[in-house]
Amino acid sequence: MKLTVIGGGGVRSMFLAKSIAQKAAELHITELVFMDNDGEKNCGFTAVWPRMSPRMLNPELKFRLTTDAVDAVKDADYIITTIRVGGDHMRVREERIALANGVLGQETTGAAGLSFAMRSVPALAEYCELIRQYAKPTVKVFNFTNPPALSLRLCEIWAMTSPMGSAMPPAACCTNLRTSTVYLRIGS
């Protein structure tokens, strides 16, 4: 099975890749693709490659980095979305502007969350359309893009099959997981 991470150049991506590589055989994952539209972010992998290469942990796992979204989602069985449009510097800027004006300032809620949504929703909608066009019809989407509730709802509207994410109430998450063949026991 193919698992793709959209937004795969983030600071925690190396640890996610390591955990997935360690559990790939158990989860029947044969291909792991990390996609980020910013090729510079993929360089984070190469800096620690000798110690954390998923191929070293699991030589049978086909692992690759790409900036091509169509290639990344094509025929994917599972997709994790974790994009941060505008990068960390925009998050910091928006949170500071909100706090300076005496309102809640974080990327999931409040003024900063609204600003983040205005950037992330159009980008996530584009990825959802690519997923709809190129991924397998039975694809499972795990959304971790903020703001979580709005992003998850977008995935649902875009006709994703049982999208799951951090904004789901526990009962809904358990219901969706029962209909899926993946188990979220990826940690090391």
Residues whose CB is less than 8 angstroms from the CB of residue 96 and which lie 6 or more positions away in sequence, other chains included: 105
CA 4, CA 17: separation in Å to the nearest integer?
10
Judged by phi (left if over 0) then psi (alpha if -120 to 50, else beta), residue 156 lies in: alpha
CA 145, CA 80: separation in Å to the nearest integer?
9
Helix ranges (H only) for the chain are: 13-27, 39-52, 54-57, 69-73, 87-100, 110-134, 148-157, 170-178
Q: Enter the pTM of the model.
A: 0.80
Going by pLDDT thresholds of 50, 70 and 90, the confidence category of residue 51 is low
CA 25, CA 125: separation in Å to the nearest integer?
32
pLDDT tens digits along 64-78? 889 999 999 999 999
Structure confidence at residue 72 (pLDDT)? 97
More confident residue, 150 or 86: 86
